[in-house]
Structure 1
Amino acid sequence: MPETLFRNVRLLDLQAHDGLTAPCDLLVRDGRIAEIGAPQPAPGAAVVEGRGDLLMPGLVNGHFHSSVNHMKGRLPSLPLEIFMLYECPELEVLRPTPREAYLRTMLGCIEMLKTGTTSVQDDCFFVPEPTPEIIDAVAQAYLDSGMRARLALDQPEVPELDKLPFLRDLLPCELRAPLEQPSPCPAPRLLELYDHLLGQWHGAEGGRLKAAVSCSAPQRVTPEYFAALDDLSQRHDLPFYAHMLETKLQRVYGEECLGGRSLVRYTADLGFLSERMNVIHAIWVDDADLDLIAQSGASVAHNPISNLRLGSGIMRWRDMLGRGIPLCLGVDEAIADDAINMWSVMKTAALVHTLDRPRYEDWPMAPEVLRAATEGGGRAMREPGLGTLTIGAPADLNLLDLSALPFVPLNNLPRQLVHCELGQSLRMTMVAGEIVTEKGRLLRVDEAALLEEAGALFAGKRAQMDRADAQVARYLPAYRAMYDMASARDVGLRRRLG
C-alpha cells in the first residue's frame, strides 16, 4: 500500500478553543498515521489536496446488530420485550441464505461508509441459529466493503421463559411449551462456532476484521456459558458485549429472579465485569451499579435513538462521565433507529440529556459527544489509538469540506459537527490507510448493483416475515401483561418522563 499525504488540512483538535489546528500535512504509511506537520513522503506517494478542509477520525459505531439491516421501518415504536418478540423469533421461516446475510450486512456497510462511520462493533444475532456459512457471509461483507469491524455471536442459550419475569404464569399452557425449549444452538455448539469465527476471521485483512464475544445479556445465558465466554475474552483480548438494564422490566427481573440483585451486580458477583466488557444501554442503573462499572473499567455503549424509539428511558450521561466511565455511541440497529448514521446519534445524545437534569452545566458538551463517537469507540473495541489523530494510530479518517453548508459560517466546529452535520459534507473516507469512499461513492463495491439485488430479494421475503409476525402474535397478550406488570412496579428509579 503506497503512502498517502494529506496536504494542507486542518485537524480536529478538541482541546483547542475553535476545535481546529493550523493548516498542516499528515502522512499515512502502512495503514497508520506516520507523521504530522511537514512530512516528506516517499516518491510515488499519493497526495490528497486538503484545501484547508477538516481531517478528523472516522466515526465508530460502538454497538450494532447487522441482522436486521433489511427491516428498516418494519415495526412501530414498541417496548423492547414486545419489539423483540416480532424482531427475532427463532422461527425456521426466517432462516436466511448466505447471500441474504451478505446483502443485509452490506446494506449497513454502504450506509455507514457513505456517512463517515469507518468502524463498527457488530453484536450479530442469528435467526433461528448461527451456522459457519452465515458467519462467513457476514464477515465477508465487512471485508469486501473496506470497513473495520468486530464481530460477535449474540446468541442466547436458555429458554425464553427463563429470560423474563412473570411470563410463565401469564401464558396459557398450550402456548407455554414452545417457550420452555432451550435454544436450538446449545453452549457447546456456540463455542464451536466461536472457534470457527476466531480461526477463520480474527485478524483478517491485516487486523481490519476481528472477533468479539457476546452473551447477549446475562439473563439470557447460563453461568457456565457466561464463564466460557469470559475465558475466550481473556485469552484473546476480545471485547465482551452484554446488554444490561436497558429497560425497567430488566430491573424487575433482578428483583424477581436474582434475589434482588441488579444484572450489573449479578455480573460482578460472577467475576465477569471487567475492562473488556461493553455494558450496553445501562439505563435503569442505580448508584451502586455505576460504582461497580466504574471500578471494573468497563465501557458503556449509549444508543440514544434506539432508547427513544423503544421508550426505554434516558441514560445517566453526566453521572457516568463524572465517575470516569468510558462511553461510546451506537446506532443499535437499523430497525430500532431506521437509519445507520452516527451523526444523528451524536446529535440525539447531545440533546436528549437536557431532559434528564435541570442544571444546564451538566448537559452534554459537543467535545464530549465527539470523543464518545471516536476515541470512546476505539477504546471499547480494544484498538489502541483508534478514533484519534495520534502518531501510530490506525489511519481511519474522514475529510470534510469546510465550505459546505453545515459549516458556513464557521462559528464553533465541535458544535457544528454535532448539531449541523449529517455526513453530507464528506469528501472522502479512509480505513486502514485505504481510501474507501470518495465524493459519496464507494470504491470497493458496486453499490448500485448491490442495492438493486437487495431490494428485489428482500421484497420477496415480505410474505415470510408477515407469516412470522402472525405466528408470534398469539403471544402478544401475555407479553403485554408482563410489560404492564413491570411498568407498575416501583423500583426506586425514574428514567422516563411522565
Structure 2
Amino acid sequence: MAIVIRDAEVITMDAATGSTPVTRSIRIEDGLIAEIGASVTLRDTDTVLNGRDRLVCPGFVNAHTHSWEYLAKGRYDNLPLELWMLYSYPILGAAPLPPDLVRLRSLLFAVESVRSGVTTLVDDVLETPSQDFAQLDAVFDAYDTVGVRANISGHVINRPFIDTVPYAAQWLPSEVAERVRSAPLLSAGEYLDFSAEAFRRYAGRAGGRLRYMLAPSGPQRCTDDLLAGATELALEHDAECHIHVLETKTQAVTGREFYGTTLVEHLRRIGALSANTTLAHGIWATDADIDTLAEYDVCVSHNPVSNLKLGSGIAPWRRYHDAGVTLGLGSDGCSSSDTPRLPEVIKAAALLHKVTGPGHETWPTADEVLRAATLGGARSARLHPDVGSLEVGKKADLLVYDLSTLAFTPRNRLDLQLVYSENGSSLRQVMIGGELVVEDGRVTTVDEDALLAELRERLPGIQAEQDRVERENTVFHEAFERMYRACAAEDVGVHRWSGEPAPVAPGM
C-alpha cells in the first residue's frame, strides 16, 4: 500500500527548486519517494492525505548532538566550555550508567527530537567513565523502537583529561594530577577493535536506518595513532568520523602549545582528514584551516545555540560557504544548549551571523540555513544519497506542517516563516522511511507518558548522584579557571567572539 500526499506546498531542497515552495504531490512506496510532481499515480488501495493548507519539507538532520547529556538538561549556566566540562563530563567519580537508564535517556531524547522535526540524529554518545556494548546496545535499541534515523558513536578520549588543555596541570595538587593520570584509558588498538566489532554488530540494523560511527573526541584528547586509525576505519566502512575541533579559543591555544600549529593542520599532517570527516564546531579556524578543510572535502557541524550558551565564539559562516565547505547544523548536547530541538538552532543560525559585520549581502539566506539543516547535515553524516531532500528514490523522511496556524499567518514567504516564525507548534506529522512516527504532535511508536513517569520516579536518585560527582570535581575548578583566563588573553590570530578578523598591530 502506498501513501500519497496530494497538492501540498513542498520545499524539496533539490537542485531545481531548493527552498522555494512549489505545489506538488508525493507518492511514497516501500519507504521511498516513488513520484513527486504536479500529479502522481493514484490507485484504489492508496492512502491519500490531503495536502491542502500543508507544507511538506525534508526532515531535519541534527548534525551534532550528545544524547547522553539529556539527564543534565538545565543544570548549568555561565560556564565556558572547559569549566562546564568539569561537571558535565566529570574527570573523577562517575559510576557507569546502567543500560536500562541509558535506554530510558535515549528514548526520551529521541522522542523530543522527532517531535520537533528531527528525523536523523548524529549522536556522539559518550559514557563515563567508559562505554561498553551493553550501553551502546541500549542506545541502538531505543532508537530502533522510536523509529528515528541515526549515526551512533563510540566516543573516546584516550589521554588524561588534565593533559588535554595547556597550563592547567601545573596548578593542580600533585596528588590530584597523579590520580587522574593513573586512571585506565583505551589504547588506539583497543578502541579500533571495539569499533570494528561495532560495525559488525550493528551492520544493517533497522534496515540500515541505524549506523555506527567513529568519534575520537578531539585531536588534543586522542593519540595520533587513534585519530589516523579512526579515519582509515571510517573510510573502509563509508562511515562518519566525527571530531570536536576548534570549539573554543582555549583549543586554538592548545594547538599552538601542543603541536606548534593549528589543530586542523595537525590533523592533516597525521592523515586524519577525509571526506568522511566532520568537525564539530570549527569556530576558531584560520583562513588557511578553512582552505584545508575545503581541499579535503571535510564537513563542519555548526552549533550556534550551544556556542552562545558556553561563550565559545561565532563560527565563520560566510568564509566556510565561500570556500565550499559543507555546513550542517547541530543542537549539541542538552547540557550545553538545553534542547535537542533543531528549529531553535535553525533560527539562531539565521540570526547570529547578521551581527558579525555590516555587509548585509553576506548574511545567511533562508536557503543556506535550510540547506545546512537538511542536505548539509545529510552529507556530513554520509547519508546524502538517501536523505536531505525530497527526490525520487530517496527515503521518505519528511515533515508536514499545518499552514493554517498563527505561525504561518499571514501566509507570505513560507521558507522565511519556516526559518523565523515556526517553532514546531505547527508540525503535524513526521515520517521516517515512510512510517508515521509523529501524528498530531504525538509520537506513535512509544508511550511518552510512561517514559516520563519512569524518569520522574528515578530522578531523585539520578540527581543525588549528579550532585555527588559535581562536588568531587570542584577540585579542578580553580586550576581550569586560571587556564581559561590565560588562554582568553592570548593572541591566536583570529577573533571569533565577534566573527571578525583580529586587528593586526602596526608593522606586523
Q: TM-score range by the shorter chain?
A: over 0.9
Q: CA deviation at 1:16?
A: 5.3
Structure 2 match to 1:297: 297
Q: What's the % identity of the aligned pairs?
A: 38
Amino acid at match of 1:234: L
Structure 2 match to 1:216: 217
Note the 1:256-335 alignment, pairs <5 A.
256-259=257-260, 261-335=261-335
The alpha-carbon distance between structure 1 residues 461 and 162, as it changes in their structure 2 partners (threshold 3 A), is: same
CA distance in 1, matches of 2:184, 2:121: 27
When structure 1 is superposed on structure 2, of 190-199 and 338-347 the one drifting more is 190-199
Is the partner of 2:300 in helix, strand or coil? strand
Structure 2 match to 1:131: 132
What whole-Å deviation, never above 9, does each CA across 1:245-300 have from its counterpart, x for those lacking one?
110011111111112x1110000111221111101101111110000001111111
Q: CA deviation at 1:107?
A: 1.3
CA distance in 2, matches of 1:209, 1:396: 14
The 8 Å contact of residues 27 and 33 in structure 1, kept in 2 or not, is answered as: yes
Q: CA deviation at 1:46?
A: 2.3
Amino acid at match of 1:305: V
What whole-Å deviation, never above 9, does each CA across 1:39-71 have from its counterpart, x for those lacking one?
224552322222241111001100011111111
What whole-Å deviation, never above 9, does each CA across 1:72-124 have from its counterpart, x for those lacking one?
10111311111111111144543211111011111111111111111010011
Note the 1:77-476 alignment, pairs <5 A.
77-181=78-182, 183-259=184-260, 261-383=261-383, 384-476=385-477
Amino acid at match of 1:157: N
Structure 2 match to 1:67: 68
Is the partner of 1:120 in helix, strand or coil? strand
Structure 1 match to 2:506: none
Aligned length: 495
Amino acid at match of 2:297: G
The alpha-carbon distance between structure 1 residues 104 and 176, as it changes in their structure 2 partners (threshold 3 A), is: same
The alpha-carbon distance between structure 1 residues 21 and 145, as it changes in their structure 2 partners (threshold 3 A), is: same
Is the partner of 2:354 in helix, strand or coil? helix
Amino acid at match of 1:474: V
When structure 1 is superposed on structure 2, of 222-231 and 395-404 the one drifting more is 222-231
CA distance in 1, matches of 2:186, 2:44: 54
Query: Would you say 1:53 and 2:39 are equivalent positions?
Result: no
Structure 2 match to 1:35: 35
CA distance in 2, matches of 1:41, 1:97: 50
Q: CA deviation at 1:236?
A: 0.3
CA distance in 2, matches of 1:284, 1:27: 45
Is the partner of 2:411 in helix, strand or coil? coil
Q: CA deviation at 1:497?
A: 4.2
Amino acid at match of 1:8: D
CA distance in 2, matches of 1:126, 1:482: 26
Q: CA deviation at 1:459?
A: 2.8
When structure 1 is superposed on structure 2, of 7-16 and 478-487 the one drifting more is 7-16
When structure 1 is superposed on structure 2, of 4-13 and 113-122 the one drifting more is 4-13
The 8 Å contact of residues 135 and 197 in structure 1, kept in 2 or not, is answered as: no
The alpha-carbon distance between structure 1 residues 404 and 193, as it changes in their structure 2 partners (threshold 3 A), is: same
The 8 Å contact of residues 3 and 41 in structure 1, kept in 2 or not, is answered as: no
The 8 Å contact of residues 70 and 107 in structure 1, kept in 2 or not, is answered as: no
When structure 1 is superposed on structure 2, of 447-456 and 44-53 the one drifting more is 44-53
Amino acid at match of 1:7: R
Is the partner of 1:129 in helix, strand or coil? coil
Is the partner of 2:283 in helix, strand or coil? coil
Q: CA deviation at 1:414?
A: 1.3
The 8 Å contact of residues 156 and 183 in structure 1, kept in 2 or not, is answered as: no
CA distance in 2, matches of 1:241, 1:434: 28
Q: CA deviation at 1:241?
A: 0.4
